[in-house]
Amino acid sequence: MATLVPADSIVERLRNYHGPAGAYDEYRDPTGQIRPHWERMLQAFRQSGPLNLTDRWHAANRMLRENGVNFTGFEHNGRQPRPWKLDLLPVVFSSVDWNGLRQGVAQRARLVEAVIRDLYGVQRVLREGLLPPELVFRNQEFQRVFHHFPQHTTPLVIYGCELARSSTGQWWVMADRAAAPAGLSFAVENRIVLSKSLPHFLHTCQIHRLAPFFVRLQETLTAFPTQRKGNPSVVILSAGPDHPYYYEDVFLARYLGYTLVEADDLTIRRNQVWIKTLRGLSPVDVVLRRTPDHRLDPLELGGHSPNGVAGMLQAIRHKHVVVANGPETGLLDSPVYMPFLPALCKHMLGEELLLPSIATWWCGQAEPLEYVLRHFGDLVIKPAFAHSGGEEIIVSELSEADAQSLRERILADPGAYVAQEKIVRSTAPCWVEEEFCSGHIAMRTFAVRTKEAYEVLNGGLVRVETSAAPMPLSVSAGQFSKDVWVTSDSPVPAISLLGHMLEPPKLQRSTSKLPSRAADNLFWLGRYLERLEFAGRLIRKITERLMSESAGQPVMDVTPLISCLAEQGIIEESFAVEEFFPRRDELENLWPRMIRGDDDPNRFEGLCNQVVRLSSIVRDRMTEDFWRGVSQIGERRVPADLLDLSELHDTMNLLMLHISAATGQITDGLVHGPTRQFLQIGRHLERARQLTLVMRKYLQQVEARETLPLVTLLDVCNSLMTYRYRYRANFSILPAFDLLVTDSSNPHAIVFQFIELNALVSELPSKQKRPFISSEQDLIRRILFELQSLLPTEDQELNWPRYRAPLEQIFKTLEPRIKEISNLLTQTYFLHAEFIQQIDEGREGGA
């Protein structure tokens, strides 16, 4: 049982916390007194009663795992996602302190946009000598094709600011983030989880909410002048599931209520952006870009990437779409511009720069280069034109030879490097290993564009490193994260996105605006879920039989099951051949190792990965309970050192439980619309394939008179209970195959799958109103007729030979026809023919 710690003890331990010498401590002032705004946190602990902070910490981080919060994404090389971790103690700021930061961050957002507009417009800062031309024309992020974009078509809507506080208490901007700033979703998730882990603390401490920021974001995205006034179509353009922060895109789409798309979901027709949906093309008015600049339009940003939406820049020029955080907004994310921002701010905004950058020297100028060489060992060297957060070299950590080599590289090409000051970041108390300790913090906060100005988030994201080692300027840096709390001097009103709407919605029953790519992923998620479940049933049954028999006895009833797994590549494929089938004693020793396999997507581990990966891609369309079931599938891996049959059996039992939870959410948690339809079509099609395969193996390898293999077959097909209720212990092959093939009331019969497929496919949206059925539906109905024809009429006698002969004929062609149905569905719903046009069509002037 967990040990509860009295509230007074927690408060006393917090009161005894002291930050390290030489760093600014957010919790205590220089005289050692606890800062007043932290006293609210202590008061909340006093009012909470006894707590077990360790249990709360574990519960909080379990919630994050169940919610799928991670920051590496799934990649084709099989790399697993790194879970997001959260400390229970937030970093607390007073409203007075935050107001100073708010003004500085909002000013920098205005400045960044003003400089970008000038560089891609009249270039006054170059003509008047405020920026050396080399800083612009040498930067690969500077693209001539962005020159003179129409006003208001590529606004800077979301700006991110990377901050650190030095030992003197001075805030420094470590990096500007304007391209597609990461961290917003993590900040909201931290707040949600912390509010559940420490209930009432936010109310007791009077902490500002995060929701107003997102309300402003919604208002901004829907207020742009577009062709369809009043109800613009807004999408979030993601780089896809292989991007490190794909989770953020999914969260934003769900949280804001917008459609999540990838480049393949969009197309350009007559300089208008369209989204490919099941019913055809639907217009897009506003795109919130979350992709790198070079992945926006492969036609005009040639050679960088095959990804992107061909013709997107042309649509921007014709003012047919607004791209929030347009492709040119990331230009100033490079550190080389930092030394010039104070002069640019005074010249362009007529204001002093409120929030200074970390001390930065561009080596392309003589005086800064001289300073860098003179103080070389005290500085951090970075590539001048790379986005901040990439490579950085701490000179003091280099060997003498490496330092000299770096110095020579700088002298050979000084304009390619910048140097920055090293700082010791400020500290805050953290709960680590059941104790309060200090952690050095890096903070990121955000600003959103409104009609009048930029509004700054009343909070942010903190990453923590318990050592004083330098921390990369990345959301993924640090050992764990913290929430940021900004206190209010008065009670905070309840504000939520739930009650915010621009106009009353029209009643609907469903929507056909499902992107074709999403439909494709849903279809394959259904197939892989069913394939994983059936494989789990086969593995569990084989394990049961190996556990139940003595070592000297054969287990021939599982031969068809092993052959079925081998033919699909789930285990060693040679076991599909009878000559290579292992002996009983060999099988028992090999079996756990055979299941583990490798990263092959066909092996059992690969099937688990595919289910989790596809679920993450369509997560914005699934329920939270579905995701919790899937996340457990991802965690219930077969251990690498597993050798015990009983442990393997327990693992399969738990896996079946989580798969049932996920599939239950598909059948009962989703409305009867396109999302559910494509999931169910995939499931029924795959179940028909699996049933066909295992029964074909049974007919090939087992005599009709053998009872035990028949019982095993009924069990793995989830129909043993039904058979026993109908026929008691009188096991016979004809009623068994009738139950598994031609019984339309059995959800695990082959005929049932095609009855469901016929109904589901007939309900799919059609792009054309035609008086005849589709090719895929025609094929489904022909298969259904053949299966139903296996049963005789009333005046005909039914026996096993009479049933078996046509059944074997059906089995010979059923698997290829299932594949044909899959291909027909792909051609009809998942692919769109592209119309190609010249990029310069209708464009004034040449490039």
Which of 3-12, 37-46, 738-747 tops mean pLDDT? 738-747
pLDDT of residue 78: 42
Which of 226-230, 418-422, 493-497 tops mean pLDDT? 418-422
Phi, psi (rounded to 5 degrees) for 421: -70, 145
pLDDT of residue 206: 93
Instruction: Count structural domains, the chain.
Output: 2
Phi, psi (rounded to 5 degrees) for 501: -140, 145
Q: Are residues 128 and 189 in the same domain?
A: yes
Residue with tokens 């002032």, as numbered in its chain = 29
CA pair distance 68, 619, nearest whole angstrom: 10
Query: What's the mean pLDDT in 752-759?
Result: 97
Q: Are strands 360-362 and 393-394 parallel, antiparallel or unpaired?
A: unpaired
Q: Are residues 595 and 464 in the same domain?
A: no
Residue 79 has pLDDT above 60, yes or no: no
Residue 631 has pLDDT above 80, yes or no: yes
CA pair distance 540, 542, nearest whole angstrom: 6
In a domain, 486, yes or no: yes
Per residue in 827-844, pLDDT tens?
Answer: 988 875 443 333 333 333
Give the pLDDT band of residue 72 (cuts 50, 70, 90). low
Give the pLDDT band of residue 6 (cuts 50, 70, 90). low
Residues 331, 332, 334: CA angle, nearest 5 degrees: 95
Query: What's the mean pLDDT in 201-208?
Result: 92
pLDDT of residue 701: 84
DSSP structure string for 251-302: HHHHHHT-EEE-GGGEEEETTEEEEEETTEEEE--EEEE-S-GGGS-TTTST
pLDDT of residue 773: 84
In a domain, 21, yes or no: no
In a domain, 41, yes or no: no
Residue 444 has pLDDT above 50, yes or no: yes
389 in Cβ contact with 244 (< 8 Å): no
In a domain, 242, yes or no: yes
Residue with tokens 């020297």, as numbered in its chain = 361
In a domain, 373, yes or no: no
Per residue in 258-275, pLDDT tens?
Answer: 999 999 899 999 999 999
Give the pLDDT band of residue 546 (cuts 50, 70, 90). confident
Residue 349 has pLDDT above 50, yes or no: yes
pLDDT of residue 503: 60
450 in Cβ contact with 216 (< 8 Å): yes
pLDDT of residue 833: 44
Comparing 579 with 170, which gets the higher pLDDT?
A: 170
CA pair distance 709, 717, nearest whole angstrom: 12
Q: Are residues 190 and 320 in the same domain?
A: yes
In a domain, 380, yes or no: no
Tokens of 57: 């910490």
pLDDT of residue 1: 42
pLDDT of residue 173: 97
Q: Are residues 533 and 440 in the same domain?
A: no
Comparing 782 with 67, which gets the higher pLDDT?
A: 782
Query: What's the mean pLDDT in 730-747?
Result: 94
pLDDT of residue 166: 93
Q: Are residues 460 and 608 in the same domain?
A: no
Q: Are residues 179 and 212 in the same domain?
A: yes
CA pair distance 481, 478, nearest whole angstrom: 7
CA pair distance 568, 787, nearest whole angstrom: 24
Give the pLDDT band of residue 215 (cuts 50, 70, 90). very high
Give the pLDDT band of residue 190 (cuts 50, 70, 90). very high
Q: Are residues 476 and 583 in the same domain?
A: no
Q: Are residues 443 and 558 in the same domain?
A: no
Tokens of 191: 């707040």
Residue 209 has pLDDT above 80, yes or no: yes
Query: What's the mean pLDDT in 193-218?
Result: 93
Residue 219 has pLDDT above 70, yes or no: yes
Percent of the chain at pLDDT exceeding 70: 88
Residue 246 identity (one-letter amino acid): Y
Query: What's the mean pLDDT in 521-529?
Result: 96
In a domain, 69, yes or no: no
- pTM here is 0.87
Q: Are residues 458 and 557 in the same domain?
A: no
* 3-state percent breakdown (helix, strand, coil) of the chain, nearest 5: 50, 15, 40
Per residue in 387-416, pLDDT tens?
Answer: 866 788 999 999 999 999 999 999 999 999
Q: Are residues 767 and 642 in the same domain?
A: yes
CA pair distance 749, 737, nearest whole angstrom: 9
Query: What's the mean pLDDT in 757-768?
Result: 84
Q: Are residues 205 and 276 in the same domain?
A: yes
Per residue in 772-822, pLDDT tens?
Answer: 788 999 999 999 999 999 887 665 567 888 889 999 999 999 999 999 999
Query: What's the mean pLDDT in 232-236?
Result: 94
Q: Average per-residue pLDDT in the chain?
A: 87
- From 440, 466, 495, the end of a domain falls on 495
CA pair distance 508, 614, nearest whole angstrom: 28
- From 464, 495, 526, the end of a domain falls on 495
716 in Cβ contact with 686 (< 8 Å): no
Please tell me the least confidently modeled range out of 52-56, 392-396, 584-588: 584-588
pLDDT of residue 845: 33
DSSP structure string for 425-484: PPEEEEEETTEEEEEEEEEEEEEEE-SSSEEE-S--EEEEESSSS---SSTT-SSEEEEE
21 in Cβ contact with 13 (< 8 Å): no
Give the pLDDT band of residue 498 (cuts 50, 70, 90). low
Give the pLDDT band of residue 195 (cuts 50, 70, 90). very high
Give the pLDDT band of residue 533 (cuts 50, 70, 90). very high
110 in Cβ contact with 454 (< 8 Å): yes
Residue 719 identity (one-letter amino acid): S
pLDDT of residue 4: 65
In a domain, 371, yes or no: no
pLDDT of residue 551: 55
Residue 563 has pLDDT above 50, yes or no: yes
472 in Cβ contact with 382 (< 8 Å): no
Taking CB atoms within 8 Å and a gap of at least 24, the contacts of 11-17 are 11/42, 11/45, 11/46, 13/435, 13/436, 14/41, 14/42, 14/45, 14/429, 14/436, 15/42, 16/436, 17/429, 17/436, 17/437, 17/438
Residue 722 identity (one-letter amino acid): T
713 in Cβ contact with 732 (< 8 Å): no
Per residue in 642-683, pLDDT tens?
Answer: 667 888 888 899 999 999 999 999 988 888 889 999 999 999
Comparing 285 with 593, which gets the higher pLDDT?
A: 285
Percent of the chain at pLDDT exceeding 90: 58
Residue 627 has pLDDT above 80, yes or no: yes
Name which of 799, 520, 548, 532 is nearest 652 in CA terms: 532
Q: Are residues 443 and 552 in the same domain?
A: no
Per residue in 317-329, pLDDT tens?
Answer: 999 999 999 999 9
Domain that holds residue 263: 91-358+423-495
